[in-house]
Structure 1
């Protein structure tokens, strides 16, 4: 199916023109970018049927012409996203390929306030209670992924892949592009992710969904300190050396609240001592919070 270019109505001078619509005519894409990565651009778009703003994710397939593995991974992400339904996971609406432009396009929910990293930078004064509420929602999303059949490991959880609806305080995990589905053994065997958030066992290429718990712990550390973990390292090699030697990021010294510090330490403990998302949700750390589901 080929997406067609839509010309705006010359009589309607105030209308914001779509630069592209999907093959069904339901979704229209605007020019403004919500974000971009190495392979993907995310544009603001509109669902004409529901009357809501959405995100139009566009991946140029040209760059993967010689890389079957990456192509397979992209299509796997799309198939995976379609099957997920959870309040703390970005919703997925539709997908198609455009053969003329050689792109893979998919429509997802848009979070009004962007990534958790950007949101936290914008709002410097946030209570521990609010950080706990955000954390609990991330854990609920992880619990859903980890107890899914088959189990899903995100593998690249960090504050730029978690998104915020700032008006409601709702938090959603997105960017499942590196997610892996694993069988009953819950073991996976390839190295990928964002180095600062990668658990030591990831480097050994023998890991389970508990790598997401480690990454979550470092997300909480970033939320508290507004500092990306291991900022003191100027190369991936130095991060690798510290992580595999069990050296914690210097940012841990900035966490003044003992309860928060102890909770982060549980999350980044060695694999055999690390709790599951379900166990962490029962932790006294969350006692006294009103329910934000």
Structure 2
């Protein structure tokens, strides 16, 4: 049996890679030490990369490098490419902003304009973010599925990079969950949405090479007024490379990302998205946000007795720590 140095659990199998109690990778340092703040949004973990999230202020020495962009966000009425007029700011995160724009070349048709914000601590970080943004464009332009947003244009202007895509009206699953009077969502409704999520994940995973989304969570799933699911934010998606042993960067959202996505013990696969789907369903059905306790999931029926045993078993299997114990697709 293997001992977990983090929680002291000593009944782990000799072949186990992760602690069965707390999810800590066995035989390695803790994923997050006690003096390390656990991020609440996208995280990026690498030995030479600064860990940042949307609440992180500019570092004290940021002004010493000219790559730190202190320009104000785009304003209502601004026009890019002599075509896209800014209507409003839809949202803003640590690395980007999204605007609602009108296309003056198409009689005012509305699009969502995604902007990569130039706010980096060094040239290497900037180059990495631009490559990530370009990878998102590269992946999205080759995809056609009713549960994915359509990409219509990509360009650079004023030293910033932009992506023009379908504007999706509706609410995220995160917003719907927060508004739920019971603190969780009805099982039949969640299963109807999950069927659409499974369909679009199957589409992504069926590509050659497979497209791994890597950041499935309630905040990245939109529900239109017609009840259609839209998977949004491909910022950390990647193409599966069977020749690579591990991912170069660890990206995702704490609580929804599987252990292998951060530990460096393997690269993300289709089963990594299955874990994130399970964590998302767990959150929606229980109201117990997994960000508060990564890798630890209380049996669903203890939290919500209305959940069917079949659904509870499926969610439990999806969030197994060992990828081999999850559903293959």
Q: Same fold (TM over 0.5)?
A: yes
- How many pairs were matched up? 244
1:43 aligns with 2:94: no
TM-score w.r.t. the length of structure 1 is 0.75
Q: Distance in 2 between matches of 1:103 and 1:187?
A: 34
Could you tell which deviates more after superposition, 256-265 or 125-134?
125-134
Q: Distance in 2 between matches of 1:149 and 1:131?
A: 30
Give the secondary structure class of the aligned counterpart of 1:97.
Answer: strand
- Structure 1 residue 227: deviation in Å? 3.3
1:145 to 204, 210, 226: 204
Structure 1 residues 223-242: aligned runs within 5 Å: 223-231=284-292, 233=293, 239=294
1:255 aligns with 2:316: no
Q: Is the 8 A contact 1:64 1:71 kept in 2?
A: no
Task: Tell me the equivalent position of 1:271.
Answer: 323
Q: Is the 8 A contact 2:300 2:312 kept in 1?
A: no
Task: Tell me the equivalent position of 2:280.
Answer: 219
Give the secondary structure class of the aligned counterpart of 1:155.
Answer: coil
Task: Tell me the equivalent position of 2:57.
Answer: none
Q: Distance in 1 between matches of 2:324 and 2:315?
A: 16
Q: CA offsets, 1:76-95, max 9 Å, x none?
A: 11121111111112221111
Structure 1 residues 123-272: aligned runs within 5 Å: 123-124=180-181, 126-165=185-224, 167-184=225-242, 188-189=246-247, 190-205=249-264, 206-207=266-267, 208-231=269-292, 233=293, 239=294, 243=295, 247-249=296-298, 253-256=302-305, 257=307, 258-269=309-320, 270-272=322-324
- Aligned CA distance change for structure 1 residues 148 and 34 (closer, same or farther; 3 Å): same
Q: CA offsets, 1:27-84, max 9 Å, x none?
A: 3221x22111101111112234165432111112353761222221111111211111
Unpaired runs of 5+ in structure 1?
A: 1-16, 234-238, 278-293
Q: CA offsets, 1:126-170, max 9 Å, x none?
A: 5322111111111111111111122111111111111120x2101
- Aligned CA distance change for structure 1 residues 50 and 196 (closer, same or farther; 3 Å): farther
Give the secondary structure class of the aligned counterpart of 2:178.
Answer: helix
- Structure 1 residue 264: deviation in Å? 0.5
Task: Tell me the equivalent position of 1:76.
Answer: 135
Q: CA offsets, 1:174-203, max 9 Å, x none?
A: 111111112346865232211111212223
- Aligned CA distance change for structure 1 residues 50 and 128 (closer, same or farther; 3 Å): farther
Give the secondary structure class of the aligned counterpart of 2:255.
Answer: helix
Larger relative contact order, structure 1 or 2 (CA cutoff 8 Å, min sep 6): 2
1:119 aligns with 2:168: no
Unpaired runs of 5+ in structure 2?
A: 1-74
Q: Is the 8 A contact 2:112 2:165 kept in 1?
A: yes
Give the secondary structure class of the aligned counterpart of 1:44.
Answer: strand
| Structure number with higher helix proportion | 1
- Aligned CA distance change for structure 1 residues 186 and 254 (closer, same or farther; 3 Å): farther
TM-score w.r.t. the length of structure 2 is 0.67
